[in-house]
Amino acid sequence: MPMSLILSLLLLQAAPHAMPGEATVDPYVASNANAGATPFTGDAMARAFHGQEGIGRVVDGMVTRAYADPVIGEIFTSHDKIRLKRTLVEQFCYILNAGCSYSGRDMASSHKDLGVQRKDMNRLVELLQQAMREEKIDFQAQNRFLSKLAPMHHDVVGQ
């Protein structure tokens, strides 16, 4: 088998496929390591978030608020909302140990050239908290989850 064919097959295998309705992205190697945090152990956090369905509702609420938000909405206007929702559900589901794998890019490259500032991240956290409250996620579980997400700000802010 020619080397170029082998390389092409490896790239196809490693590169995630866009789901229907999503814009294509530059190839990258999909890995759970790209999620930016290690998952919780056990199923308590997944249950606290009401499983994959609850996680989907939290992400939907946060993303809907973010796109409509007068403070940070402009950051999202040129982004693929369908892919954003899918990869956030995967990321949250993976970190919450709710039975998902993460197929998105790493945090630094996915936020490259967005110019996200600390105040933008703080606002997004507020919107996430609103979505978690709407889903009736226990305050302690919210804080445990936010503590997993917090270190990612180094790979997001100022990229």
**Is residue 97, in this structure, part of any structural domain at all?**
yes
Q: Which domain holds residue 152?
A: 32-157
Single-letter residue type at 108: A
**Is residue 116, in this structure, part of any structural domain at all?**
yes
**Report field, pTM of the whole predicted structure over 0.95:** no
CATH of the domain at 52: 1.10.490.10
Spell out the residues 6+ positions from residue 64 whose beta carbon is closer than 8 angstroms to its own: none
**Is residue 123, in this structure, part of any structural domain at all?**
yes
**Is residue 92, in this structure, part of any structural domain at all?**
yes
Spell out the residues 6+ positions from residue 89 whose beta carbon is closer than 8 angstroms to its own: 52, 55, 56, 59, 100
**Is residue 134, in this structure, part of any structural domain at all?**
yes
8 vs 49, higher pLDDT: 49
- The pLDDT tens digits for 78-136 are 888 888 899 999 999 999 999 999 888 776 666 566 666 788 888 999 999 999 999 99
**Is residue 7, in this structure, part of any structural domain at all?**
no
Give the integer Cα–Cα distance in Å for 39 and 28: 22
**Is residue 18, in this structure, part of any structural domain at all?**
no
pLDDT of residue 75: 84
**If we measure between CA atoms, which residue out of 82, 64, 63 comes closest to residue 21?**
82
Q: Show binding-site residues.
A: 111, 154
Counting the structural domains of the chain, the total is: 1
**Is residue 37, in this structure, part of any structural domain at all?**
yes
Q: Show binding-site residues for heme.
A: 111, 154
HSE, CB side, 13 Å, CA atoms: give it for residue 92: 30
